[in-house]
Amino acid sequence: MKILVATDKPFAPVAIEQIREVAVKAGHTLVLLEKYKTPQELHVAAADADAMIVRSDIVDAAVIAAAQKLRIVVRAGAGYDNLDLSACTASNIVAMNTPGQNSNAVAELAFGMMVWSARGGYDGKTGSELLGKSLGLHAFGNVSKCMALIASGFGMKCYAFDPFVDKKVIAGAGVTPVDTLEELYSTCQYVSLHIPANDKTKNSIGEKLLSLMPQGAVLVNTARKEVINEAELVSVMEKRSDLKYLSDIAPDNAALFAERFQGRFFFTPKKMGAQTEEANINAGVAAAKQIVAFFATGDETFRVNKPK
């Protein structure tokens, strides 16, 4: 079978080596398409692929239509908002993700941004510490578990809200579960977002929640920019000069933040939470192994779309 690794943002070379090893050992061929410039390039490369490994690359109905032989697509990562699941189902294609494989990298980036911000961007002036501060985890999945672990090392008090996770699981990780989002946002000096981007969550973080945050609060977003209501975030930051926003990927109107909120925001130039060699290896190799298992035994563990 031909496995296409199609990544606009390439995996580290060491990860590619290991992905190739898994594929070749199982008798498959690995083809690479990296840093492509147009969707057409992806369409051409996908035309004879039996399987695909992608990152945040858009796999929409046009890609599915171009990939006539495709039987499985694996998003090497957690969030699969880039996959058109209905189009996959309609064409009998199995869609999967690799949950948990890049979580630590994302959590470490979140903390990196938090320390940077607490120390005023390392400007030499008096900053603050994370010790003793409260951290609110908005959703309690794999990244939040890593966040809680790191937070305990920093001596932070951790809270979480997740209606889909048993409170005992949250408490078992040393985190205090709270009953409402309002409680989370009004309690915590740092709130870190770990929700997926879907119809329910897009634009859901806005004035209502942000205005509840305590004095000097910081919103940390390593999830997706789409979950933020950007106009409302700007409006709250205008009203409250104490609020800060740290995000793994710039908002649509980054220039406005630069103009109005100097020293109160940080944006990575490119989404890079999962951009470590370790995370690339973990997620890429997991994706390759899932594809090998699918072709060998029909294993559909980690399938995220409905069967036809």
Closer Cβ to ligand 3PG, 82 or 91, answer by number: 82
Cβ neighbours for 220, distance < 8 A, ≥ 6 positions apart: 110, 113, 114, 190, 191, 192, 193, 246, 247
Closer Cβ to ligand 3PG, 10 or 127, answer by number: 10
Closest-CB residue for ligand 3PG? 77
Q: Least CB distance from residue 274 to ligand 3PG, whole Å? A: 4
Q: Least CB distance from residue 54 to ligand 3PG, whole Å? A: 8
Closer Cβ to ligand 3PG, 57 or 217, answer by number: 57
Alpha-carbon gap, residue 279 to 276, rounded angstroms: 5
Q: Least CB distance from residue 7 to ligand 3PG, whole Å? A: 8
Q: Least CB distance from residue 218 to ligand 3PG, whole Å? A: 20
Closer Cβ to ligand 3PG, 213 or 223, answer by number: 223
284 close to 11: Cβ distance less than 8 angstroms? yes
Alpha-carbon gap, residue 269 to 276, rounded angstroms: 15
Q: Least CB distance from residue 76 to ligand 3PG, whole Å? A: 6
Closer Cβ to ligand 3PG, 139 or 217, answer by number: 139
159 close to 139: Cβ distance less than 8 angstroms? no
Which positions lie near ligand 3PG, rule CB under 6 A?
9, 55-56, 77-79, 102, 271, 273-275
- Nearest by Cα to 105 from 150, 161, 73: 150
Cβ neighbours for 141, distance < 8 A, ≥ 6 positions apart: 78, 99, 103, 162, 165, 194
